[in-house]
Amino acid sequence: MPTAPYVTRFAPSPTGALHLGNARTAFFNDLAARASGGRMVLRIEDTDAERSEDALLVKLLEDLRWLGLEWAEGPDVGGAHGPYRQSERGAHYARAIESLEAQGRVYPCFCSPEELKLSRKAQLAAGRPPRYAGTCATLPAAEVARRVEAGAKPALRFRVPPGRVIEFDDLIHGPQRFASDDIGDFVIRRADGSVAFFLGNAVDDAEMGITLVLRGDDHLANTPRQIMLLEALAMPVPRYGHLPLLLGHGGSPLSKREGAASLGDLRAQGYLPGALRNYLVRL
């Protein structure tokens, strides 16, 4: 278990009911905070306006409380690092993006989803790992201005520095090394103006003073991107630990969309919160 007083966080997206996999991640963050004499922050990642629902947020808070978890800061309890809903943090992301723009670390990308799909297919067919081909990386400023004037709405991509090795010591997996040359320039702001996961998540961790991020293994490959962003922004990089995902009977990770039992279902079936906690911590 951790030794430093860790500030941890649970950062769910309110797009479905909590299942045991999400609950386990939340529980480990709660335990790491308590065991180290630190605290947990609850942050709501609701930038996907189409899929996020307020009713789901209310249910999510209720389920977490029922499970017995506690957070020192969050949308319902407030705190010094709010707001705690990403949909209300646009000004924070705009500041970060301005700083990246001033350093020339980002560029507008006009590629359509169809073009990106074709490029991906071509790379896979050639036996190469798919990543952004850099089509818009060197567009002259005049051409960018012309397209914007013509009404095009570009996304914004982070210019991944070539030839770098990004290293971090994962609390669960141990030392990790990623070559920046394997990582394509990635989107930090979508064409519709909304902030993309990589940026919002990393900036919030830094600005909320998070020192330990415990999250699912599905985010391990995102970590080098987030470290590069935080370094470019001269923001602190938290410690990361990636937990194995819980699998369903079919062998694929539990997911709300695949109909995994929600905490609410288990509660209705009569499971006690203490029994679930005991089960989750022993898996």
C-alpha distances out from residue 231 to 4, 105, 110, 224, 227, Å: 23, 11, 26, 10, 6
Q: Answer for the pair 191, 154: CB distance below 8 angstroms, yes or no.
A: yes
Q: Which of 16, 27, 30, 45 binds ligand GLU (CB under 6 A)?
A: 45
Burial track 192-221 (b if 16+ CB lie within 10 A, e otherwise) = eeebbbbbbbbbbbbbbebbbbbbbeeebe
Q: Toward ligand GLU, which CB reaches closer, 45 or 185?
A: 45
Q: Which of the stretches 8-16, 62-70, 125-133, 251-259 binds ligand GLU when contact is defined by CB under 6 A?
A: 8-16
Q: Which of 6, 7, 8, 13 binds ligand GLU (CB under 6 A)?
A: 13
Task: Please name which of 230, 259, 226, 258 lies closest in space to residue 242, comparing C-alpha atoms.
Answer: 226
Question: Total residues contacting ligand GLU (rule CB under 6 A)?
Answer: 7
Is 59 among the residues known to form the active site?
Answer: no
- Tell the smallest beta-carbon distance from residue 21 to ligand GLU (Å): 10
Q: Could you give the CA distance from residue 230 to residue 158 in angstroms, rounded to a whole number?
A: 12
- Tell the smallest beta-carbon distance from residue 188 to ligand GLU (Å): 15
Q: Which of the stretches 11-19, 87-95, 157-165, 250-258 binds ligand GLU when contact is defined by CB under 6 A?
A: 11-19
Q: Could you give the CA distance from residue 261 to residue 279 in angstroms, rounded to a whole number?
A: 15
Q: Which of 19, 39, 215, 242 binds ligand GLU (CB under 6 A)?
A: 215
- Tell the smallest beta-carbon distance from residue 172 to ligand GLU (Å): 14
Q: Could you give the CA distance from residue 209 to residue 50 in angstroms, rounded to a whole number?
A: 29
The separation between the first and the last C-alpha atoms of the chain, rounded to the nearest angstrom, is 16
Q: Which of 2, 6, 7, 11 binds ligand GLU (CB under 6 A)?
A: 11
- Tell the smallest beta-carbon distance from residue 276 to ligand GLU (Å): 19
Q: Toward ligand GLU, which CB reaches closer, 159 or 219?
A: 219
- Tell the smallest beta-carbon distance from residue 185 to ligand GLU (Å): 21
46 binds ligand GLU (CB under 6 A): no
219 binds ligand GLU (CB under 6 A): yes
The values of phi and psi at residue 243, to 5°, are: -90, 140
Residue list 60-99, contact with ligand GLU (CB under 6 A): none
12 binds ligand GLU (CB under 6 A): yes
Q: Toward ligand GLU, which CB reaches closer, 136 or 205?
A: 205
The values of phi and psi at residue 39, to 5°, are: -150, 160
201 binds ligand GLU (CB under 6 A): yes
Task: Please name which of 208, 209, 157 lies closest in space to residue 186, comparing C-alpha atoms.
Answer: 157
- Tell the smallest beta-carbon distance from residue 45 to ligand GLU (Å): 4
The values of phi and psi at residue 2, to 5°, are: -60, 155
C-alpha distances out from residue 116 to 23, 121, 134, 277, Å: 35, 9, 11, 43
> Known catalytic residues?
256
List interacting residues with ligand GLU (CB under 6 A): 11-13, 45, 201, 215, 219
